[in-house]
């Protein structure tokens, strides 16, 4: 069974996030969508509000769960027995950042693999920052 973690701020949740979840479901047996509870960032919505929004709009699929997390993504994966981190790649600058993060995560825990998925064309330039 292959489980994946889709971590993010989801502040706010966008159709691009939902698109990525739908694209990931055929690839994984289980998908955990995890809202980062990072107190150093200024957020529009609380972590609990973001979890509630995600639960409302995500597909009602028993393979999908939503939670919050603190700390390192790879530590969360290790604690939960998750073997992959799902990340969306919209632009070249996204790739550069995500590639650095993937290499860092691999150095911290080589058992967790990063999987990059491209969005549908209609969501390629959509971001939470633009929505805010």
Tokens of 27: 């690839």
> Which is nearest to 114 in space by CA: 80, 78, 76, 88?
88
- Give the span between the Cα atoms of 125 and 121, in whole angstroms: 8
C-alpha 52, offset from chain centre:
16
- 7 burial (CB, 10 Å; 0-12 / 13-18 / 19+) is middle
Q: Which residues are catalytic?
A: 17, 41, 90, 128
């Amino acid at each position: 069974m292959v489980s994946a973690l889709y971590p993010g701020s989801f502040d706010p949740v966008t159709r691009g996030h939902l698109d990525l979840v739908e694209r990931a479901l055929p690839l994984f047996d289980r998908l955990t969508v995890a809202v980062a509870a990072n107190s150093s960032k200024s957020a529009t919505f609380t972590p609990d509000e973001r979890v509630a929004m995600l639960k409302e709009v995500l597909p009602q699929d028993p393979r999908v769960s939503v939670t919050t997390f603190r700390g390192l993504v790879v530590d969360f994966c290790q604690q939960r027995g998750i073997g992959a981190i799902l990340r969306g790649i919209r632009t070249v600058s996204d790739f550069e950042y995500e590639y650095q993060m993937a290499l860092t995560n691999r150095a911290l825990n080589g058992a967790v693999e990063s999987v990059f998925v491209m969005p549908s064309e209609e969501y390629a330039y959509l971001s939470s920052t633009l929505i805010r």
